[in-house]
Structures are given as structure tokens and as C-alpha cells.
Amino acid sequence: MPETTAVKFEVKYLQILDETGKADEKLMPKLSKEQILRMYELMVEGRIFDDILFKLQREGRVLTFAPGKGQEAAQVGSVLAMEKDDWIAPAFRENTAFIALGMPMDVIIQYWGGDERGNKMPDGINSLPVAIPVGGHITHAVGMAWAFKLQKKKSTMVCFFGDGASSKGDFYEGLNMAGVFKAPLVAICQNNQWAISVPVKQQTAAETLAQKAIAFGFEGIKVDGNDVFAMYKATKDALEKVKAGKGPVLIEAYTYRLSDHTTADDAGKYRDPQEVEEWKKKDPIDRLKKYMAKRKIWNENDEKKLLKSAKERVEAAVKAFEEMPEPKREDMFKYVFEKPTAQMEEQMK
Ligand SMILES: Cc1ncc(C[n+]2csc(CCOP(=O)(O)OP(=O)(O)O)c2C)c(N)n1
Ligand SMILES: [Mg+2]
């Protein structure tokens, strides 16, 4: 029997800003000088936040913390491409996305300080709470996106999750449904190469995570996740497509977790230090800085000023967090069920 091709697919890859700080002008999205500076400021602020929170945990001033070092471009680029009515569904490593979304840093720290009130989004912050169960929030995000469609709202869900989450049933169930119902969803898989100590090669035999979208019947694109311009453009294009009713988009942000999984982990036990060194050369912040220096819109004096002011902002947020009134002990029983069970009443007493 002669073989013919049933159907052919391709997965595109997008990089605009390379490791040397050179941008492909043909692909460059329209961004003002101010917007580019804002991207840089947010990425630097995210990194400083990360460094300070890591140290706070070591001093016992916050609980286990999940650092996002290395993933700043993936988060800032995508959040800045969003519009006012759009929503995010974060996993647990999206602190820089929160900062870019305008969430007050003391509230973010409150969450990591073990105070559940830090998971209550302030007015105007369109985000679901932090989702620790890996991949579980994908189905919620799809449900919400579908609801937006049924309610004829302009909003879109932007759902962040990791390479590890792509092995979960929630990922397949959620994205399959999103495809069938053409839910307004942009799914951003931050492939940071590791799920705690499990490398991405053990998550999938597929060449890319982006190509999984093909089986769901929508577009998947692989993007250099350490390139803030590419992440911005890919997200903006995806949002436009999704809002035009053309179905969801899956973006694989190809990036790297430069730090430990959390403060409870020691990545040195399972990762080759050489691999980390190679990825440091692709640092998203360094390459944007090189680009800005080339364009003469940034100098060492600007850098000094930013490092100082960003540190001051984070430190002020830490102080505000530490001065917050402590949560009431009984609150942990109050909001689990509509009415506490008899057993919970007894425990509370
Ligand atoms: C359902 C579930 N299983 C296991 C865990 C423990 N756990 C926390 S993070 C993680 C790995 C997640 O990897 P990935 O999705 O790649 O995200 P990353 O941590 O790299 O950002 C695991 C297994 C969990 N939180 N939830
Ligand atoms: Mg991962």
C-alpha cells in the first residue's frame, strides 16, 4: 500500500535577542525606550527580591521559598504583553511575574512568610492564588478561560507552569478541553530543564514541549525564555490570536532554573556545575543590559542607581511585612469548609 502523508506539522522557534545583546531588528516588537527600561528594572527587581528572600529564609524570617533566578525574562516579557483585563494563573515560582503585575511586594513576602492572607490578591491584581500542587491549577485556568468566553468577557487566562507539570494528567485534560472549547488561554510552560532533581529528558521523549499543543489542535511555539523581547512578542501575538477566537496557544519558554528548586533543596547534589555555568552565559538580565548599553540608553551609573533603589524597595517591603499584625491562630480552621467539622472545632479548642 502506498504511504501518503496524513498531515504535516511544524513547531516554530523564536529568539530575537541573542546572548551577546544583539537584537534581530526584523523581528523586534514595537517597544519604546521607556518600555525597554521598565523591562530591565522589573527583571533586576525580581532578581534582588529573590536574593533577599533566599537570605531571609536562611535567617528564619520566612518559610520555604522558591527562587525564580534565571526565569525573569520569561515572566516579565509575558506579563508586560498582557492587557488590563487579562488574568494570570501562577504556579509557585512566579514572584517576578507578580512584581511585574504590580502586586505589592510585602504581600508576596507575606505569603512566603507562611501567612495565608498573602494569597489574597489585592484589588486590581488579576491573579489566582499561588498553586503548590504541580499542574493542578491548569484545569482551573482552563475553566476560568472558558467562563470568560461564555460570559463574552474580553479577558484571557495566562497560565504558568513548569516542564514537570507537563507530565501531569491535569496538563493533558486541561489543554485538551481548552482546545475543544477554544478557551481564551495562553499556556506558558517555563521549561527550566528541571523538576526538582528530575531533568526534562525524563519528563518526555518529545523533542519539544511546545509540540504537545499539536495533539490538542492548537499552536505551540518554542521561545527563548531568556530573551525578554521574544517572550513579549510571543505572548502578545498569542493573546491577539486567542482574543480573535482562534483558540489557545502553548508557549514553551526555554529557560533555566539557576538556583536551587527551593530553599529546602541543594541542586549541587544532582546537577553538573558545568551545566549551570553554561546557562549563566545566557542570563536574561545580562543580555538585555548589553543590548541597552549598545543602544546607549543605559550606563554604569544608571545601573548603580537601580541596584540601590530596587534593594531599598525590597527592604522596605520586608520591613512592612515584619510589622504586619500576626494572623489569628483560629483562622487556619475557619476557611477550610463553610462550617468547621466537629473534629475541627475540637482541635481548635
Ligand atoms: C501534585 C504534586 N506532586 C508533587 C509535588 C512536589 N513538587 C513540588 S515542585 C515539583 C517539581 C515541579 O517541576 P516543574 O513543574 O518543572 O516546575 P519548577 O519547580 O521547575 O518551576 C514537585 C514534584 C507537588 N507540589 N505537587
Ligand atoms: Mg521545571
Question: Which residues does the annotation mark as catalytic?
Answer: 257, 261, 270
> d(Cα 172, Cα 160) in Å, to the nearest integer?
15
Ligand 1 atom at minimal distance to the Cα of residue 133: 26
Q: How far is the CA of 189 from the centre of ligand 1 (A)?
A: 13
Region of 312 (left: φ > 0; alpha: ψ -120 to 50; beta: rest) is: alpha
Residue with CA closest to ligand 1 atom 7: 134
- Rounded mean pLDDT of 202-218? 98
DSSP 326: P
Give per-residue pLDDT as tens, 133-149: 999 999 999 999 999 99
> d(Cα 329, Cα 332) in Å, to the nearest integer?
6
Residue with CA closest to ligand 1 atom 25: 133
Check residue 331 and give its pLDDT: 84
Ligand nearest to the CA of 71: 1
Q: Is the pLDDT assigned to residue 286 strictly greater than 90?
A: yes
Residue with CA closest to ligand 1 atom 21: 162
Substitution site in 196, 259, 279 for ligand 1 pocket (most atoms within 8 Å of beta carbon): 196
Q: Is the pLDDT assigned to residue 335 strictly greater than 90?
A: no
Measured CA to CA in angstroms, residue 25 lies from 80, 287, 289 at distances of 20, 15, 17
Ligand 1 atom at minimal distance to the Cα of residue 136: 1
> d(Cα 159, Cα 248) in Å, to the nearest integer?
11
User: Contact, 112 vs 65, CB < 8 A?
Assistant: yes
DSSP H or E segment with residue 276: helix 273-280
Residue with CA closest to ligand 1 atom 8: 134
Q: How far is the CA of 5 from the centre of ligand 2 (A)?
A: 35
* pLDDT > 70 fraction of the chain, expressed in percent and rounded: 100
Check residue 336 and give its pLDDT: 81
Q: Is the pLDDT assigned to residue 72 strictly greater than 80?
A: yes
Question: Could you write out the DSSP letters of every residue in 72-100?
Answer: HHHHHHHHHT--TT-EEE--SS-HHHHHH
> d(Cα 124, Cα 99) in Å, to the nearest integer?
13
Sign of the torsion formed by the C-alpha atoms of 152, 158, 159 and 163: positive
Cβ-based neighbours of 19, under 8 Å, separated by 6 or more: 281, 282, 287
pTM for the structure as a whole: 0.96
Check residue 2 and give its pLDDT: 76
Q: How far is the CA of 251 from the centre of ligand 2 (A)?
A: 14
Split at pLDDT 50, 70, 90, the class of 330 is confident
Work out the burial of residue 41: count CB atoms within 10 Å of its CB; fewer than 13 is exposed, 13-18 middle, 19 or more buried.
middle
Ligand 1 atom at minimal distance to the Cα of residue 200: 16
Split at pLDDT 50, 70, 90, the class of 332 is confident
**What is the pLDDT of the chain when averaged over all its residues?**
97
Give per-residue pLDDT as tens, 225-284: 999 999 999 999 999 999 999 999 999 999 999 999 999 999 999 999 999 999 999 999
Split at pLDDT 50, 70, 90, the class of 44 is very high
- Rounded mean pLDDT of 66-73? 98
DSSP H or E segment with residue 41: helix 33-58
* pLDDT > 90 fraction of the chain, expressed in percent and rounded: 95
